[in-house]
Structure 1
Amino acid sequence: MRIFIAGGSGAVGSRLVPLLVAAGHDVTGTARSDDGIGRIRAAGGRGVIMDGTDEASIRRAVLEAQPEVLVHQLTSLSGKFDFKRFDETFAVTNAMRTRGTDALIAAAREAGTGRVIVQSYTGWTNEHTGSRVKTEADPLDPNTVPSARKALAAIAHAEQATVAAGGLALRFGNFYGPGQSLGEGGQMLESVRRRQVPIVGDGAGVWSFCHIDDAAAATVAAVTHGASGVYNIVDDEPAAVAEWLPELARAIGAKPPMRVPAWVARTMIGEFGVSWMTTARGSSNAKAKAELGWRPRYASWREGFREGLGTGLGAA
C-alpha cells in the first residue's frame, strides 16, 4: 500500500519507515529538515519537507503522496520539560494535535485515503480516582491541574477528530528506549543516575510504559488490523513510581532514589508533577491485544529496563 507518515523522521516514525518498507509498502515520510529527509531515504522511504502546523504545507504533501493509509506521528517534544509550565512546553505539540490533526484528516479525505492512524497518549491523562488501571472506556481526567489543561484538551481533540473520521487513535504509554529521554544518554535517565528524580510522597502514582519499538510495532499492526476507535499501547504491568523507579536505578547501576515529601516536591515540579507521581493511574492493553493482534516485545518494564534502554545499559 501507499503509506504516508507525518513525522517520518521522529521517534516512532523513524522506526516505522524501515518496518513498512520491509513489509513491501510504498512509504512517504515527512520531516522538517534535510537531515530528516536523508534518514527517511536511507531507510528506503521517500522523504518530503512538511510543516506540521501549516495547513497548506500539510495539504500539499498529502495530496502529492495520494496515500491509502495516513499515519500521524507529529510531535515536538525535544528539550527539557518544565512541569510547572506544562502547556507552554507542549505548545507546538498541542498545535499539531489540534490544527495539525484537522488538516491531515481533511487532506486524507480529499485524497481518498481509506485509513487514518493518529498518535495519542495515555498516562497522566487518565482520571486520578477510582480503579488503579483504566481502559479505553474510562473517561479522561475531568480535573487535571490547570497547567496541563491545554495539553489534555489537545489530546482529547486528536482522539475525537480521529474516531469521528473513522480512524484509529493509538494511546502510547510513557516511552523508553534508545533515543528517548528514558534511554541511553537521555535527560530523564541521566537525572535518575544522578539521584535527581525522587520518589514523591508515597510514590503511589501508577505509570504504564511502552518501549519505543513496541510503539512502532503496534502502529504497523494498526495499518491492517482494528476497527475505528481508541487503543492503549502499553506493556502488561502498570506500576507505582515507588516500585518502578528503584528498579530503574538498579538496572542502570545507580543509587536508590531519594524520597521527598509532596509539599517539598511541589516547589520543584509543581502540582502537575506531584499529581503524576502520587495519584496517576495506569492503562490496560487488553483491547489492543485482542483487536490489533499486537503483543509487546517487552511485556514488562522490568525486562525492558534491563535489556531495552540502549547499548551497554542493561544489568548483567
Structure 2
Amino acid sequence: MNVFVAGGAGAVGTRLIPRLVEAGHAVVATTRSPAKVRAIEEMGARGVVVDGLDRTAVERAVQDARPEVVIHQLTALSGPVDLRRFDRFFALTNRLRTEGLDHLLAAARAVGARRFLAQSFAGWPYAREGAAVKTEEDRLDPDPPKPQRQTLAAIRYLEDAVTGADDVQGLALRYGGFYGPGNVLGRGGQMVEQVRRRRVPIVGDGAGVWSFLHIEDAAGATVAAVGAGAPGVYNVVDDEPAPVSEWLPYLAETLGAKPPRR
C-alpha cells in the first residue's frame, strides 16, 4: 500500500519506515529539516520537507503521495519532560496534535485514504481512580493538574477527532513510555544519566505504575495497525506494568548506581 508518514525523522518514524518498506509498502515520509531527507531516503522511503502546521504544504504533500494509509507521528520533543512547566514543554507538540492533526486528517480524507493512524499516549492521562492498571475502557482524567490541562486537552482532541471520523478508519495508538536506543530511557539517555546520579527520587511509596514500550515494539505495532484493527483507541504497551518502587531501583542497580533517594 501507499503509506504517508508525517514525522518520519522522529523516534518512532526512523524505526517505522524500514519496517514499512520491508513489508512491501511504498512510503512517503515528512521531516521539517532538509538535512534529514537523505536519511529518510536511505531507509527506502521518499522524503519531503513539510511543516506540519502549514496547511497548504501538508495538503500538497498528501495530494502528491495519494496514500491509502496516513500515519501521524508529529511531535516536537527533546530531553526529559519538564514537570514544572509541563504544558510549556509540550506546547508545540500540542499544536501538532490539534492544528497539525486537522490539516493532515483533512488532507487524508480529501484523497480518499482509507486508514488514519495517530500517535497518542498511555499513562498519566487516565483519571486518577479505580485500579492502577488501566484499559482502553477507562476514562481520561476529567480534572488534570493545572500544569497538564492543555496537554491532556490536546490528547483528548486528537483521539476524538481520529476515532470520530466517519469516512476513514481512525486508530489512536496510545504508546507507553519509550525506552531503548536514542531515548531518554536508553544507553546514554538523559533520564538514565539522572538515575545514575541519583537525581530521580522515589516520591512517597512509589506506587505510581508505569507502562513501558520498547521503541522497536512501537514501530512493529504501528506496522501491524496499518492493515489490521478496528477503528478505536489502542493501548500499545508491554505486558509488565511496574510501580516506580520496583522499576526505578532495578534500573539503578542495572546501571551500577546507588539506590534512588526517597
Counterpart residue number, 1:175 = 178
Q: Report the Cα distance in structure 1 between the residues aligned to 2:240 and 2:248, rounded to whole angstroms.
A: 14
Q: Equivalences for 1:4-23 in 2 at 5 Å? A: 4-23=4-23
Aligned to 1:44: 44
CA distance in 1, matches of 2:199, 2:185: 14
User: In angstroms, what is the RMSD of aligned CA positions?
Assistant: 0.9
Q: State the Cα distance separating 1:123 from its structure 2 match.
A: 0.4
Identity level (%): 59
Tell me the TM-score normalized by structure 1: 0.81
Letter in 2 for 1:248: L
Give the C-alpha shift of residue 34 in structure 1. Answer: 2.0
| Aligned mate of 1:234, from 217, 233, 237 | 237
Cα distance, 1:20 vs structure 2: 0.7
> Residue 148 of structure 1 aligns to which amino acid in structure 2?
Q
Cross-structure match for 1:154: 154
Deviation at 1:80, TM superposition (A): 4.7
| Equivalent AA in structure 1 for residue 52 of structure 2 | G
1:251 & 1:185 partners in 2: Cα distance? 13
The alignment partner of 2:183 has SS state of coil
**CA–CA distance in 2 between the matches of 1:187 and 1:58?**
33
TM-fit CA distance, 1:81: 2.8
Q: Which of 200, 212, 236 in structure 2 is aligned with 1:197?
A: 200
TM-aligned CA deviation for residue 35 of structure 1: 2.4
Q: Which residue identity does 1:43 align to in structure 2?
A: M
Q: How does 1:124-135 map to 2 (within 5 A)?
A: 124-135=124-135
Write the distance in 2 (CA, Å) between the matches of 1:113 and 1:179.
Answer: 32
Counterpart selection for 2:212 from 202, 209, 213: 209
Q: 2 CA distance for matches of 1:59 and 1:69? A: 15
CA distance in 1, matches of 2:72, 2:51: 13
Does the 8 Å CA contact 2:208/2:244 hold for their aligned counterparts?
yes
Q: Which runs of 5+ in 1 are unaligned?
A: 260-316
TM-score, normalised relative to structure 2: 0.97
Q: 1:139: which partner in 2?
A: 139
CA deviation vs aligned residue, 1:7-52 (integer Å, no higher than 9, x gap) = 0111001111111111111100101112221111010110000101
Deviation at 1:143, TM superposition (A): 2.0
Runs of 4+, deviation exceeding 3 Å:
none
Partner SS state of residue 210, structure 1: strand
Q: Paired residue for 2:248, among 239, 245, 249? A: 245
